[in-house]
Amino acid sequence: MSIVTISTTLDFVQETRAQNAVEALRRSVAVQATVRRDGVIATLPIDQLVPGDIVELIAGDLVPADSRLLESRNLFVNQALLTGEPYPAEKAAGDHASGAGNPAGASNAVFAGTSVISGTATIAVCRTGARTALGHLAASLAEKPPATAFAMGVRRFGMLIMRLTFPRRTPRMSGFPSMAPPMSREPPPI
């Protein structure tokens, strides 16, 4: 009995230590951003960003949210995650951008999940979380895709084969003789 108690206690202690170590590791590798709020510069986890925050980006940073460029200097961003384009896109601050709604054409915007290859930038956060281009992409991947014409054809063909193999019984029509022997309504003799 004492061996079981000692074993259970040791297992509990080791499990608690392992969970604490995992949490500490998660906190240390969490993606963070350098944010300027109310004139104070702070480093915050990206899940605490809100629209309107001003974020500083340097080479090697992940873009934390869909944002508009306020200032930039020799900024090149890898957008392959969103566009599939293997080459970095040059970005520059400006009031007007061609194709601002689409990541491939927005020259004065950067998008969550992309990475800064070179240069520096100051950005204003516009959209965070599921409202970002990356969030929309993730939501579309989670949805069940519509059935293709091939899949619908296979399903119809399968139903046709099933109907031919197992025909439905139709009710007896009046006026036609039945193939089944007549049933008597009298109880069987004892």
Where residue 71 sits, what CATH number does that domain have? 2.70.150.10
Q: What is the pLDDT of residue 31?
A: 82
Q: What is the pLDDT of residue 98?
A: 58
> Residue 109: which domain range?
32-140
Residues of the chain with pLDDT under 70: 96-104, 169-190
What's the CA gap between 163 and 93, in Å, rounded?
65
Q: What is the pLDDT of residue 65?
A: 93
Whether 136 is in a domain gets the answer: yes
Cβ 74 vs Cβ 55: under 8 Å = no
Q: What is the pLDDT of residue 138?
A: 84
pTM flag (> 0.85): no
Q: What is the pLDDT of residue 184?
A: 58
Q: What is the pLDDT of residue 143?
A: 86
Number of domains in the chain: 1
Whether 157 is in a domain gets the answer: no
Whether 62 is in a domain gets the answer: yes
